[in-house]
Amino acid sequence: MGKVTIIDHPLIKHKISLLRDENTGTRDFRILVEEIAMLMGYEALRDLPTELVSVKTPITTADVPMLAGKKLAVVPILRAGLGMVNGILALVPSAKVGHIGLYRDEVTHEPHEYFCKLPENIDERLVILPDPMLATGGSAITAVDFIKQRGCSHIKFMCVIAAPEGLEALQKAHPDIDIYVGSLDEKLNENAYIVPGLGDAGDRIFGTK
């Protein structure tokens, strides 16, 4: 069974509060999302396996722990998920990067795929799936479906903020994945936006309307 981790850290809380402010501009918003992703990644990657490697220090030779070379992929949900990629890559620069493109129908709020490109041997990799917002859960559920259809079974979903409805839907559809949440918000409104939320993450990251 997967686990849900609401990351209770004062730095993440502070940075998410800055994201919520409607006066936070595109540049600062983008930087904050990247910083939050790196802080969340520190927690999400806590269980990466290590192995002892012989290293010659200035004093002696020692067997020290290093990452065991487990294949890792970061697969953001376009477009807002792109804003979290560099924060994760700052921790694991050798990770491969894929992309899943989804858009939400403005009437039905259902997700539709328009692009999917994944690294080779995705079935052998730990996949980190970032998206700043988990609202209805539809996009996240669809993205996990795509990855699982390609044989991948080790998936961790990361979001900056989540609505209870979306978190419940994702857990119900994919109870085997780990979910990392920066802030669990109050609810969805009638337009399927998270309350209090931070608006449209993609528009605020890229400066679009």
3-state secondary structure 157-195: EEEEEECHHHHHHHHHHCCCCEEEEEEECCEECCCCCEE
Of 176, 175, 163, the closest CA to residue 133 belongs to 163
* Binding site members for uracil: 194, 199-201
Residue among 5, 20, 28, 203 flagged as catalytic:
203
* Binding site members: 79, 104, 131-139, 194, 199-201
Give me the DSSP letters along 91-141: T-TT-EE-EEEEEE-TTT--EEEEEEE--TTGGGSEEEEE-SEESSSHHHH
Please name the residue that has the structure tokens 């002696």: 60
**From the CA atom positions of the chain, what is the Rg in Å?**
18
Measure the CA–CA gap between 60 and 16, rounded to whole angstroms.
45
Residue 105 falls in the annotated catalytic set: no
Residue among 108, 145, 150, 176 flagged as catalytic:
108
Residue 63 falls in the annotated catalytic set: no
Measure the CA–CA gap between 5 and 158, rounded to whole angstroms.
10
Residue 200 falls in the annotated catalytic set: yes
Measure the CA–CA gap between 12 and 1, rounded to whole angstroms.
26
With the C-alpha atoms ordered 104, 106, 110, 112, is the resulting torsion angle positive or negative? negative
Residue 108 falls in the annotated catalytic set: yes
* Binding site members for 5-phospho-alpha-D-ribose 1-diphosphate: 79, 104, 131-139, 200
With the C-alpha atoms ordered 144, 122, 84, 45, is the resulting torsion angle positive or negative? positive
Catalytic residues: 104, 108, 200, 203
